[in-house]
Amino acid sequence: MTTQNLLVELFVEELPPKALKKLGDSFATQLAEQLRAMGLATSESTVTAYASPRRLAAHISHIYLKAADKAVQQKLMPLAVGLDAAGQATPALLKKLSALGADVSDPAKAVAALKRAPDGKAEALFYDSLLTGATLDSGLQKALDEALAKLPIPKVMSYQLETDCELPGWSSVHFVRPAHGLVALHGSTVVPVKALGLKAGNSTRGHRFEAKSEIVVLKDADSYASAMLNEGAVIASFDERKAEIVRQLTAAAAKVGGGVRPIEDDALLDEVTALVERPNVLVCQFEQEFLGVPQECLILTMKANQKYFPLLDAAGKLTNKFLVVSNISPADASAVVGGNERVVRPRLADAKFFYDQDRKKTLASRVGGLDKVVYHNKLGTQGERVERVRVIAKAIAQQLGDAKLVATADTAARLAKTDLLTDMVGEFPELQGIMGGYYARHDGLGDDVADAIEDHYKPRFAGDDLPRNTTALVVALADKLETLVGMFGIGNLPTGDKDPFALRRHALGVIRMLGEKNLALDLSKLLSAALPAFGDKVTDATPALADFIYDRLAGNLREQAYSPQEVDAVLALRPQRLGEVAQRLAAVRAFAALPEAAALAAANKRISNILKKAQEVDAHVSELLLKEPAEKHLYASLKDVVPRANAQFESGDYTASLKTLAALRAPVDAFFDDVMVNAEEMDLRLNRQGLLKSLHDAMNRVADLSRLAS
């Protein structure tokens, strides 16, 4: 059977830019999957997705005009149900065969054509038939309907189409945007499919302003990309258009000179790629006076409101030049450049006005205003929240430093939320914390306090920097713990993919700060210290919160290529100092590589099971009750090995501690070979259990080694 390549394009009004990439990929993927499922695509079929502001398209290679017929065997019913005692077909069997389209005019002949085969404990009847392969006309229609139904549309809109019938009227269509054209080409042949009230053809439309002709006629499926580029002035491929924008941005920055570079922002790049069909990058500029405003404000307004690419110098400082990705390429671009410069000027002027106005009031003067801002109906205002953060920050600072740290942390915690009341943050909520840092420096509060105010939201996302100084760490920890303890205390927990208060992110922030900064803070004490700050507003949910944090830690460690066994072994002990976790994991990995590891892990698992059944066992051993040579040898080995291993453990050398304990393998093996733990004499049994408890306690200080047993 010969194949030809297939092209399907849906021409629509401007699609939502933030969703375009997903829409294009989904459309192409779903079409291909459906065609493969129907046998219309081959193993060699490749899929190319196209997505521009006004089109979704897919090119799929090696598509059959008709799928091959397929032999199908279908189970009908148990033999005892289908045939009577005389071996004749029952009414139930004849009805089933008739429903499948089989000829039942001669029941005996119909039964003879069936197969009998074991099916579990009894025999069953099976019917062989030939399933006619799908044609491309019907198969593509089904695939197209399915692909459109599964599109990840952010918001569906309704619009009206004039009906194609004798009686005039309108019909409602529901789609992401109104559709105006459908192309379906198998080679050069139009496939007669329909979608969204449209009939497929072989023509589409190009660029709204720069296409050579309004209608672009496609010769065949393979000419789509070239025809769109040459006739339609459209780079149809999202990825190719994105690469062209990157190339032009780089070239434009190089032309400006001085080592400038466009700001890196993948989300902005994707959005701009979804806004233009044929990009043309132009250099624009604004007045130098605006550079007196914090660059984060200017960058944000240019990116968020205008979709511009600010230019940074070699030191990462904002320049007064920026790049615009235009959708048109006039011979004289001065009007486009001038228009964009006029548009951005009021935005920058607003930012400057907000900044100047905000600095007329100190952060300290804004503290009282937080009492009027509701944080949560069960947890009170932002003012009450700030007081809780201060209490928690003081408790943390007292553990980490002296009176100076306590004082600076308290000042930063008191002022950290005040920038929520500024005009700049009111306009750009993304700048909270950042603007507080600028205003704190303007108020003469010093770098420690200013950095802490700016950094107390960090880490804001995966891979974000941690707070840069101890004061900032204290306030950031206090802020996140206040959120976690408060929300757990009122039962406001994340469910499924819903986490409106970002509790998962806050937990990971706590984990990263405690772990990566190796802070001398115990997790359980931190949670307990945070609870009194809430008074009677919350119940004590710290056990559930601790579970939540350790679950997040376990997931985070598995993403770092630690095995589930290694992670379970370490976290089973609930280490309180999270800064030790990495060392413990390294020690467990080194131990697992030793030849003695498997036997000792298995022995630990066996010991754990024995001690569970025995319940409360005292780790006490009487030498007078040691009867067997193997238990005496194990006890002597423990007295020799354990003190050395404990000393290494206390010094923080967990790897050496576990390697030292590996010497116990032989005496442990001998003990289990030669000694009956559950002896009939109660004193012997308790003494042997005590010996095993001593061994278990010594072996499992770094990690629960039984979790390594297969």
Q: pLDDT tens-digit profile of 318-354?
A: 999 999 999 999 999 999 999 999 999 999 999 999 9
Residue 300 and residue 251: Cα distance in Å, rounded?
23
Residue 599 and residue 578: Cα distance in Å, rounded?
29
Q: What is the mean pLDDT of the chain?
A: 93
- Per DSSP, what are the bridge partners of residue 55? 11, 52
Residue-level pLDDT at 101: 78
Whether residue 488 is contained in a domain is answered as yes
**Of 29-33, 73-77, 350-354, which range is least confident?**
73-77
The answer, yes or no, to whether residue 166 has pLDDT greater than 70, is no
Q: Looking at residues 437-462, what average pLDDT do you find? A: 96
User: How would you list the strands of the sheet with 3-12, edge to edge?
Assistant: 47-52, 55-64, 3-12, 179-186, 189-190
The whole domain housing 602 covers: 591-708
Nearest to 523 by CA among 600, 576, 598: 576
Considering 115, 131, 147, which residue would you say is the last residue of a domain?
Answer: 131
Query: What is the number of residues in the chain?
Result: 710
Whether residue 45 is contained in a domain is answered as yes
The answer, yes or no, to whether residue 642 has pLDDT greater than 50, is yes
Using an 8 Å Cβ cutoff, are 171 and 160 in contact? yes
Whether residue 576 is contained in a domain is answered as no
Burial category of 681 from C-beta neighbours within 10 Å (exposed 0-12, middle 13-18, buried 19 and up): exposed
* Identity of the residue numbered 131: L
Considering 358, 379, 402, which residue would you say is the last residue of a domain?
Answer: 358
Do 533 and 466 have their domain in common? Answer: yes
Whether residue 577 is contained in a domain is answered as no
- Using CA atoms of 369, 373, 379, 383 in order, give the dihedral in degrees to the nearest 10: -10
* Identity of the residue numbered 291: L
Considering 336, 358, 380, which residue would you say is the last residue of a domain?
Answer: 358
pLDDT bin (cut points 50, 70, 90) of residue 9 is very high
Q: Which pair of structure tokens corresponds to residue 553?
A: 């830690």
The tens digit of pLDDT for each residue in 625-638 reads 999 999 999 999 99
The answer, yes or no, to whether residue 165 has pLDDT greater than 80, is no
List all residues 6 or more positions away from 107 whose beta carbon is below 8 Å from its beta carbon.
88, 89, 94
Residues 592-600: contacts with CB under 8 Å, at least 24 apart: 592/565, 592/566, 592/708, 594/659, 594/662, 596/662, 596/663, 596/665, 597/662, 597/708, 598/708, 598/709, 598/710, 599/665, 599/668, 599/669, 600/661, 600/662, 600/664, 600/665, 600/668, 600/699, 600/705
Residue 326 and residue 249: Cα distance in Å, rounded?
12
Do 62 and 196 have their domain in common? Answer: yes
Q: Looking at residues 434-453, what average pLDDT do you find? A: 97
Do 528 and 432 have their domain in common? Answer: yes
- Using CA atoms of 343, 344, 345, 348 in order, give the dihedral in degrees to the nearest 10: 150
Q: Looking at residues 438-458, what average pLDDT do you find? A: 97
The answer, yes or no, to whether residue 71 has pLDDT greater than 60, is yes
pLDDT bin (cut points 50, 70, 90) of residue 167 is very low
CATH number of domain containing 684: 1.10.730.10
CATH number of domain containing 435: 1.10.3210
Residue 529 and residue 568: Cα distance in Å, rounded?
27
Backbone angles phi, psi at 329, to 5 degrees: -130, 70
Residue 435 and residue 428: Cα distance in Å, rounded?
10
Using an 8 Å Cβ cutoff, are 114 and 163 in contact? no
Helix (H) or strand (E) holding 557: helix 542-559
Do 31 and 152 have their domain in common? Answer: yes
Nearest to 316 by CA among 265, 266, 261: 261
Residue 175 and residue 156: Cα distance in Å, rounded?
5
The tens digit of pLDDT for each residue in 685-702 reads 899 999 999 999 999 999
Residue 578 DSSP label: G
Q: Looking at residues 434-444, what average pLDDT do you find? A: 97
Do 263 and 315 have their domain in common? Answer: yes
Whether residue 568 is contained in a domain is answered as no
The tens digit of pLDDT for each residue in 92-131 reads 888 888 887 788 888 888 888 888 888 877 888 888 877 7
- Per DSSP, what are the bridge partners of residue 183? 9, 201
Do 9 and 148 have their domain in common? Answer: yes
The tens digit of pLDDT for each residue in 220-250 reads 999 999 999 999 999 999 999 999 999 999 9
pLDDT bin (cut points 50, 70, 90) of residue 164 is low
Place of tokens 């009194």: 532
Do 57 and 189 have their domain in common? Answer: yes
Whether residue 22 is contained in a domain is answered as yes
Using an 8 Å Cβ cutoff, are 217 and 202 in contact? yes
The tens digit of pLDDT for each residue in 188-217 reads 999 999 999 999 999 999 999 999 998 999
Whether residue 368 is contained in a domain is answered as yes
Place of tokens 């199908």: 72
Residue-level pLDDT at 545: 97
**Of 214-228, 325-339, 467-481, 671-685, which range is least confident?**
671-685
The answer, yes or no, to whether residue 148 has pLDDT greater than 80, is yes
Q: What DSSP letter does each residue of 407-450 carry, written as one string?
A: HHHHHHHHHTTGGGGSHHHHH-GGGTTHHHHHHHHHTT--HHHH
The answer, yes or no, to whether residue 36 has pLDDT greater than 90, is yes
Residue-level pLDDT at 204: 97
List all residues 6 or more positions away from 221 whose beta carbon is below 8 Å from its beta carbon.
4, 5, 6, 7, 59, 185, 186, 187, 188
Residue-level pLDDT at 168: 55
List all residues 6 or more positions away from 319 whose beta carbon is below 8 Å from its beta carbon.
258, 260, 291, 310, 311, 312, 313
Residue 594 and residue 349: Cα distance in Å, rounded?
67
Residue 11 and residue 208: Cα distance in Å, rounded?
12
Q: Looking at residues 126-155, what average pLDDT do you find? A: 90
Percentages (nearest 5) of helix, strand, coil residues in the chain: 55, 15, 30
List all residues 6 or more positions away from 279 whose beta carbon is below 8 Å from its beta carbon.
235, 241, 244, 245, 248, 272, 273, 325, 326, 327
Residue-level pLDDT at 163: 60
Instruction: Give how many domains the chain has, as a whole number.
Output: 5
Task: Supply angle C-alpha 634, 636, 637, rounded to 5.
Answer: 65
Residue-level pLDDT at 510: 97
Do 432 and 382 have their domain in common? Answer: yes
566: Cα within 13 Å, side-chain hemisphere? 22
Residue 631 and residue 229: Cα distance in Å, rounded?
84
Whether residue 572 is contained in a domain is answered as no
Residue-level pLDDT at 438: 98
Using an 8 Å Cβ cutoff, are 414 and 390 in contact? yes
Do 62 and 10 have their domain in common? Answer: yes
The tens digit of pLDDT for each residue in 375-420 reads 999 999 999 999 999 999 999 999 999 999 999 999 999 999 999 9
Q: Taken in order 161, 167, 168, 169, is the CA torsion positive or negative?
A: negative
CATH number of domain containing 222: 3.30.70
Do 393 and 326 have their domain in common? Answer: no
Q: At what angle do helices 238-256 and 20-37 cross, to 10 degrees?
A: 150
Residue 28 and residue 26: Cα distance in Å, rounded?
6
Do 83 and 198 have their domain in common? Answer: no
Helix (H) or strand (E) holding 384: helix 382-400
Q: At what angle do helices 238-256 and 266-273 cross, to 10 degrees?
A: 120
Do 507 and 623 have their domain in common? Answer: no
List all residues 6 or more positions away from 225 whose beta carbon is below 8 Å from its beta carbon.
50, 59, 236, 237
**Of 91-100, 273-282, 418-427, 670-679, which range is least confident?**
91-100
Q: Looking at residues 519-527, what average pLDDT do you find? A: 95
